[in-house]
Amino acid sequence: MRVVVIGAGLGGLLSAARLSKAGNSIEVFERLPITGGRFTNLEYRGFQLSSGAFHMLPHGPGGPLAKLLKEIGADVRIVRSEKTTIRMPLEKGDADYRQGFRDIPFNEFQKPLSNRDRLKSAYLIVSTRKYPPEGSTLKEWISSQVKDEWLVKLADSFCGWSLSMRSDEVSVEEVFEIIENLYRFGGPGVPMGGCKGITGALEKVITANGGTIRTKTEVSKILVENGKAAGVVVDGTEHKADLVISNIGHAATAGLCSEILSKEKHAEYFRALEALQPSAGIKICLSAEEPLIGHSGVLLTPYARRINGINEVTQVDPSLAPPGKHLTMSHQHVAPENIGKLEEEIEMGLQDLKEIFPGKKYEVLLIQSYHDSWPVNRASSGTDPGNNTPIPDLYVVGDGAKGEGGIEVEGIALGVARTMEKILG
């Protein structure tokens, strides 16, 4: 089968590698001069910063992405993070970290609760595995169970870090699916070599199987013949294919077949596209000589103004920074109403970092923001229309087509795996 893949982001490369390994003839077209999309390394002042993701897989070496990479035969090593910690104010009742703080392990998150609420949460941890709650936002559900605002703060920090959403924006079903996946696959891990360690390995699989990846090459149109996808147009030249996989999101994909798709005939699909809400966030990259976090996992910061969590990937792979330096990256969710005030949001994040790391020496390397057409996620978790399009033999993969329960790149891998099942059987 001849396959054209539009976009060399993680979803596109995973699909291309999987299909090339199955013996298909693959052409990948990438608009930019670099591959990897928002999942590759950007070299900056000797550091391996990233074009988007945090050099971290939410479910580490046991997750859906690691599984798919193994199936594909990509040569990557993913190291499980040792722990996740939560930074708490020193005294219960303090609103922030200014009077001091202490870190607790994630699995002791019930400790700050009253005895009564702790018992209730212990009961809920067991009962919700059998009967997951449904029909509300996460925040509504938590507030209906436990009055203590601590759990909402923790939920905001966790959802902010992992989904770039607030607990009142995400459905309780989606979060419980994620929690179930954490039981199933385990917590985060860091790929050696960062994001590029993975996308680079996928490219090797594609080229080793005879596939081609062309950068600086923009697809202008998706060809449709007899109602089915039949290839693409690049620089005025037709490239025929039996199958087209798009890694550029549903909206941009629909834009490439505007002659075929009509708002009347495909009203349902267009309604789904209009409902898509990309998520926004800010990453602040820090350089420090002494470790700021001191472990390879996530530090959640529920009592910061804006920062949701921070990681320090050089704890696993020191080569991501120059010798003697650490690379520490913070993430903060940006609410839709604040996208127009990014500078203020960044200032709050920088102020947070001063209070999270008082007395520590660090330098701000680069501040990166993501929203709208280059977002954290093209579709917020649990809201996308899946991998199918109204046109047979045209599929969408990537962070705009993840499906349920998949955090970030794990969701991308689940979407690709489902698409491969449809194609390869």
The residues of the shown chain that bind another protein, judged by CB under 8 A, are: 32-34, 37, 42-44, 49, 51-52, 216, 342-343, 345-346, 366-375
- Distance between CA atoms of residues 6 and 250, nearest Å: 12
- 368 vs 388, which CB is nearer to another protein? 368
Closest to another protein by CB, 260 vs 342, is: 342
Shortest separation between residue 31's beta carbon and another protein, angstroms: 8
Nearer to another protein among residue 22 and residue 32 (C-beta)? 32
Minimum CB separation of residue 193 from another protein in Å reads: 17
The nearest distance, CB 41 to another protein, in angstroms, is 9
- Only one residue has tokens 């919700």, namely 128
Please identify, using beta-carbon distances, which residue of 62 and 322 lies nearer to another protein.
Answer: 322
Q: Name which of 345 and 393 has its Cβ closer to another protein.
A: 345
**Contact of 28 with 244, CB cutoff 8 Å:** no
How does strand 2-6 pair with strand 243-246? Answer: parallel
Q: What are residue 189's phi and psi, to 5 degrees?
A: -150, 165
Tokens of 139: 């925040």
Residue whose CB is less far from another protein, 178 or 397:
397
Question: How many other CB atoms are found less than 10 A from the CB of residue 254?
Answer: 22
Smallest distance, Å, CB 79 to another protein?
A: 25
CB-CB contact of 328 with 280 (8 Å): no
Taking the C-alpha atoms of residue 315 and residue 37, their distance in angstroms, rounded to an integer, is 25
Residues 416 and 69: their CA atoms lie apart, in Å, by: 11
Contacts of 308 (CB under 8 A, 6+ apart): 156, 157, 158, 159, 160, 161, 300, 301, 302, 331, 332, 333
Burial of 1 by CB count in 10 Å (0-12 exposed, 13-18 middle, 19+ buried)?
Answer: middle
- Least distance CB 248 / another protein (angstroms): 11
User: In the complex, what is the shortest distance from the CB of residue 415 to another protein, in angstroms, rounded to a whole number?
Assistant: 21
- Nearer residue to another protein within complex by CB, 70 or 341: 341
Per the CB < 8 A criterion, the answer to whether 57 and 81 are in contact is no
Closest distance of CB 37 from another protein, Å: 8
Residue 347 CB, shortest distance to another protein, in Å, is 9
Bridge-based pairing of strands 326-334 and 280-288 is: antiparallel
User: Nearer Cβ to another protein, position 32 or 233?
Assistant: 32
